[in-house]
Amino acid sequence: MKSKIELTWLEVRKRAAVIHDQLKEKFGNNLFSIYGIPRGGWMAAMLVKEVAIHRGCQNITFSRIPELASVCIDDIVDSGATRTRYGGKPFYALVDKPAEGINQFVIFPWETDEKEGPTENVRRLIEFIGDDPNREGLKETPDRVIRSYKELFSGYGQKPEDVIKVFEDGACDEMVIARGIEFVSFCEHHMLPFLGTAHIAYIPNGKVIGVSKLVRLLEIYARRLQIQERLCQQVTKSLDDHLKPKGSACILTAKHLCMSCRGVGKQRSEMVTSSLTGVFREQGNMARQELLSMIR
């Protein structure tokens, strides 16, 4: 699946025509007004008006005040928060991601640079917190943020099978463990980092992988918006799916900045989570005891 969808002018005009058809069905030849949601909705509203003019329809006017408009038009429905905010009005959009089942980032043709939309959002966030995005120290910050996000969240563009290479030659039946792996991930609730160490282990069942692949497997899932509990489970599930081991384990210890630099403000607190499968789940099992003794 592509990480982004780039719409052409022809495609957005076709979508604008669909909206005009819906408005025509709703209002007929009666006069009505449309309000374009700032910012992308302005362009969407103009495209709908353009289609109306081309078809010889003169019953659409623009409204600068949403409360006085007959309908609201936006370029995209993503989470649905904007539509909810204007919930009292009929709401139309060129792209409705939930309704169309779209999970990718959508780029409209007026966003000439694929980074224009995201970088503009960073600029607006800088303004929101009270600083000036045009001052010297911040002029290039939006570009830097987007470049860093591409690296920090690169896990979305990778799959476990991209890094896992299985070997049968040399497979053993003793525990394999990669201990003390440093990792950084981002809390999906506040988009703040949590960082710490990971211990990943498995007991082969005729197949092994290179030890560096355990680290790479962790990185795939860590470089996504996460919760620590799920991160553990994703690692062990991937090991179980690709190696079919006798058991797999992932234990994470991490500090969460959403706890230390905001909220409860506890600087030294750590969170420990684990995911154990197969023989590691069996209470009193020697493999479980050996694992715990080796990571201490």
Question: Within this chain, do residues 286 and 196 fall inside the same structural domain, yes or no?
Answer: yes
The residue from 58, 100, 161, 189 that is catalytic is 189
Q: Quote the domain boundaries for residue 166.
A: 158-295
Output the CA angle 74-80-86, nearest 5 degrees. 60
Same domain, residue pair 247 and 282: yes
What's CA 197's distance to the chain center, in Å? 23
- On whether the CB atoms of residues 208 and 167 are closer than 8 A, the answer is yes
* pLDDT for 240: 94
190 catalytic per annotation: yes
Q: How many CA atoms lie within 13 A of 172 on its CB side?
A: 6
Percent of the chain with pLDDT over 70: 95
CATH number of domain containing 75 = 3.40.50.2020
Tokens of 12: 């957005």
Assigned token pair, 201: 């282990």
Q: What is the pTM for the complete model shown?
A: 0.70
Whether 242 sits among the annotated catalytic residues: the reply is no
Number of domains in the chain: 3
Query: Does residue 20 have an active-site annotation?
Result: no
The answer to whether 188 is a known catalytic residue is yes
Note whether 49 and 142 are same-domain residues.
Answer: no
Same domain, 59 and 132: no
187 is catalytic: yes
pLDDT tens, 242-293?
A: 999 999 999 999 999 988 877 776 777 889 999 999 999 887 778 888 888 8
Return the SS3 of 197.
Answer: strand
Say whether 172 is catalytic: no
Q: Render pLDDT for 57-83 as a digit per residue (tens, 0 to 9).
A: 999 999 999 999 999 999 999 888 888
Instruction: Give the number of residues written for the chain.
Output: 296
Task: Among 53, 85, 111, identify where a domain stops.
Answer: 111
| 228 belongs to the catalytic site | yes
- The one catalytic residue in 188, 261, 282, 289 is 188
Tens of pLDDT, residue by residue over 15-55, are 999 999 999 999 999 999 999 998 889 999 999 999 999 99
Q: Of these residues, 228, 232, 234, 250, which one is catalytic?
A: 228
Does the pLDDT at position 210 exceed 90? Answer: no
Rounded Cα–Cα distance for residues 168 and 180 (Å)? 26
Structure tokens at 23: 């408005």
The domain that contains 194 carries what CATH number? Answer: 3.30.1130.10
Among 72, 187, 232, 250, the one annotated catalytic: 187
162 and 146 assigned to the same domain: no
- Local structure of 4: helix, strand or coil: strand
Q: Which of 111, 127, 144 is the C-terminal boundary of a domain?
A: 111
Nearest to 208 by CA among 249, 181, 173, 180: 173
**Segment 84-118, tens digit of pLDDT:** 888 778 999 999 999 999 988 888 988 765 456 78
The per-residue pLDDT of the chain, averaged, comes to 89
**b/e map 30-54, b = 16+ CB within 10 Å:** eebebbbbeebbbbbbebbbebbee
From 22, 120, 158, 190, the catalytic residue:
190
Separation CA 281–CA 244 (nearest Å): 15
Mean pLDDT of 141-163: 91
The one catalytic residue in 6, 258, 270, 290 is: 258
The helices-and-strands tally (H runs, E runs) of the chain is: 11, 13
- Looking at the structure, tell me whether residues 79 and 175 fall in a common domain: no
Handedness of CA 39, 1, 80, 21 (dihedral sign): positive
Strand partners, 237: none
Residues 98 and 215 in one domain: no
DSSP class of residue 277 equals -
Q: What is the pLDDT of residue 2?
A: 57
**Residue 193 Cα distances to 94, 152, 197, 259, angstroms:** 34, 10, 13, 10
Strand stretches in 87-175, DSSP E: 91-96, 105-107, 166-167
23 CB-near residues (< 8 Å, 6+ apart): 32, 34, 48, 60, 71, 92
Over residues 221-241, mean pLDDT: 96
DSSP state, 39?
T
pLDDT at 231: 96
